[in-house]
Amino acid sequence: MTTPHPSPTAAGSGSSATEAFRAGRSATGGPAVAPERVSAVVSSLLSGIHQTIRSESVTYDEFQAAKQFLIEVGEGGEWPLLLDVFVEHVVEDVAARAQEGTKGSILGPYYLPGQVRLESPATLPQRPDEKGTRLVFSGEVRATDGTPLPGAELDIWHADDEGYYSGFAPHLPEGNLRGVVVADERGRFEISTILPSPYQIPTDGPTGALIEAAGWHPWRPAHLHLLVRADGHRTITTQLYFAGGEWLDSDVASATKPELILEPVDQGDGTSVVRYDFTLEPA
């Protein structure tokens, strides 16, 4: 099949993701990590690597291949992709030990702050000929004690019908399928958009080459990304998936959870409808 536009490259997505990451950090890079933590965490990390070298009898050839791989990940700006796909889910698991409310999931590399604010009911910005099944996604945002949270914000972004994210694929208009939807005076929201397609890690860069070399697959199941915010409450970073979707049981980023799977109902007119409520704990 031919597509009317060139596929985004790993280097393009990677360097945009690196830029977005840098832009999201304060000038000082955030709070300093205490020397004892640096020492404890890095010692443990290195001992895991040393242990792997011994138990797998890693050869010089393999060590040099690893060095070359790491150099290429850096050159391609692919660190945000690689770390978010293979590592972030465990950081999220650890953070979740102390959290109540709606289950979280990884942020991933493609969040862009500062998107258009839209009062609910809202339609996400999209091309006039945006392809894909229409999706109407509604629900309520409440506190863990059940109180509705008026004016809660749902910062939502997702891939298009071809699995590409605006801001990272040059053929897509800026802000496409991204927005900050403001819930009404009873914490209710309704968002009209399209169903995203599964996302494939770009296969032309080092992360793709690693996946290929290991005989794994590069797919994430279709998903919506959300940050749900309300004054005085902890912001939820999460993703929602679709029942029956491909790759749900083998997400390359290991970021699915049974509580985060939507079951949209086809209305018979090309539109799918689904409800999902969010629960936020006091900050």
Told to check if 104 binds ligand DHB by CB under 6 A, we report no
> For ligand DHB, which stretch binds (CB under 6 A), given 42-50, 60-68, 80-88, 264-272?
80-88
SS (H, E, C) 94-163: HHHCCCCCCCCCCCCCCCCCCCCEEECCEECCCCCCCCCCEEEEEEEEEECCCCECCCCEEEEEECCCCC
Among 220, 222, 236, 242, binds ligand DHB (CB under 6 A): 220
Among 137, 157, 164, 199, binds ligand DHB (CB under 6 A): 199
Told to check if 109 binds ligand DHB by CB under 6 A, we report yes
Question: Could you tell me which residues come within 8 angstroms of residue 169 by beta carbon, excluding any fewer than 6 positions away?
Answer: 8, 12, 13
CA distances (Å), 123 to each of 55, 126, 135, 137, 189, in order? 54, 8, 10, 10, 11
**Residue 170 neighbours by CB distance under 10 Å:** 14
Question: Could you tell me which residues come within 8 angstroms of residue 222 by beta carbon, excluding any fewer than 6 positions away?
Answer: 159, 195, 196, 197, 198, 199, 241, 242, 245, 246
Residue nearest to Fe ion (CB): 108
Please give the DSSP secondary-structure letter assigned to residue 227: E
Told to check if 201 binds ligand DHB by CB under 6 A, we report yes
Told to check if 228 binds ligand DHB by CB under 6 A, we report no
Told to check if 205 binds ligand DHB by CB under 6 A, we report no
Told to check if 245 binds Fe ion by CB under 5 A, we report no
Min dist CB 210 to ligand DHB, Å, is: 12
Told to check if 242 binds ligand DHB by CB under 6 A, we report no
Told to check if 233 binds ligand DHB by CB under 6 A, we report no
Told to check if 108 binds Fe ion by CB under 5 A, we report yes
Q: In what order do the strands lie in the sheet with 261-262?
A: 117-119, 178-182, 153-158, 223-229, 236-242, 261-262
The count of chain residues that interact with Fe ion, using the rule CB under 5 A, is 1
Residues 81-100, mask of contacts with ligand DHB (x by CB under 6 A): x--xx---------------
Told to check if 143 binds ligand DHB by CB under 6 A, we report no
Identity of the residue, 101 or 108, whose beta carbon is nearer to ligand DHB in the bound complex: 108
Footprint of Fe ion (CB under 5 A): 108
